[in-house]
Amino acid sequence: MRGKQSDVSGDEPRGDTRRTKRRTLGRRSYLSLLGATATGALFSSAVRGEAGDPKATDLEFIDIDYGGSYDASSRYNGLEDVYRVWNHRSGADPEITAGQPEPGDRCLAHHFQGNQMTANTVYSFDANHGGVVDETYQRFRFHPNGMTLADRGTFRFFWAGLRNGPTSSGGTTQEDIPNGKDGWSVRLGYARRGSHNHPDEYPLFVYVYHMDQVNPVPELNVTETDVRMNEWNDIRCHQVLNTVEGGQANADGEIRVWVNGELAFERTDYRWTSVPGQGIEEAGPYGYWWGSNQNGETVYFDDHHIVVGGIPENIVPPTQS
């Protein structure tokens, strides 16, 4: 396992020969399928061969198109065409915006106003894919707009994987530890902990609710890889759910996270589920600060791409160490 683990409150793709398909999510094309020759930003600098290559695995490609979704006449400027927006607490709406933090394409903005959380803006696998999703690879860009953390403060910004249920967040008692039937979650964030270049960088953490956690509060796995403030960061994450045999959860669930090309975290012995129907339900951006008030701040997201079913063989992976 890579990364330092503490309990704090507050590989290769499968070798089967199968099919590929790509979806681009934008206004009035939420589930439109593109042809096998379509290209997207996810693979623009990392492609060897075509999506229709017979060696390709059975993958679905989802490209979140903020620009194509933009609609100034709707709440959130069209964001609900690509994400489910829920648990909205901030006094300011998350929105598709342009010109911030720099001129260019439209991106997603989360604003903090009057609450420590913005909203969950997530892609729904349950709504858009038949069957249970048990493996995803995601890539997105994230820009903390000059944010500064107080000592011991934390900031969470992305659901890498979520199965909603009583034990997917907010644990306070032993009964809140997931039992494989009632939810789980994996979130990404950064913290003012350990050695780092404050206020320009803070170490990434991976925040996990799983069956083997020791305390009701989840594991805060603080890594040695920093997220850069006031600039775009390239984030990638890969999750494979654990297998289940004879009603027993096997300790073979996987999580990997890369930050700006560096493998920041890897663990391959998680247990999240022990019964059918506990697959990856949702994933996507959100914002939540703890111990370091961020009211008035804004964070940005762009180029969110998802692969369901594995890591494509034609992707040149980030460095493994």
- Is residue 319 one of the residues assigned to a domain? no
Contact in structure between 75 and 92 (CB atoms under 8 Å): no
- Is residue 204 one of the residues assigned to a domain? yes
- Is residue 57 one of the residues assigned to a domain? yes
> Which range of residues forms the domain containing residue 117?
4-308
- Is residue 320 one of the residues assigned to a domain? no
Sign of torsion, CA 263 158 121 134? Answer: positive
- Each residue's pLDDT, cut to its tens digit, for the chain (321 residues) gives 555 443 333 323 333 333 455 666 553 333 222 222 222 333 322 222 233 443 445 899 999 999 999 999 999 999 999 999 999 999 999 999 988 877 778 999 999 999 999 999 999 999 999 778 999 999 999 999 889 999 999 999 999 999 999 889 877 888 889 999 999 999 999 999 988 899 999 999 999 999 999 888 888 999 999 999 999 999 999 999 999 999 899 999 999 999 999 999 999 999 999 998 899 999 999 999 999 999 999 999 999 999 999 998 766 555 554
The number of distinct structural domains making up the chain is 1
Question: How would you label 156-194 residue by residue, b for 16+ Cβ within 10 Å and e otherwise?
Answer: bbbbbbbbbbebbbebeeeebbbbbbbbbbbbbbbbbbe
Q: What beta strand segments (E) does the chain contain? A: 4-7, 20-25, 33-34, 59-64, 84-86, 95-97, 107-111, 120-124, 135-144, 154-163, 184-191, 201-209, 219-228, 233-240, 244-245, 248-249, 253-259, 262-270, 282-290, 298-308
Prediction pTM value: 0.84
- Is residue 294 one of the residues assigned to a domain? yes
Q: What is the CATH number of the domain that holds 87?
A: 2.60.120.200
- Is residue 318 one of the residues assigned to a domain? no
- Is residue 85 one of the residues assigned to a domain? yes
Q: Tell me if residue 103 falls in helix, strand or coil.
A: coil
- Is residue 313 one of the residues assigned to a domain? no
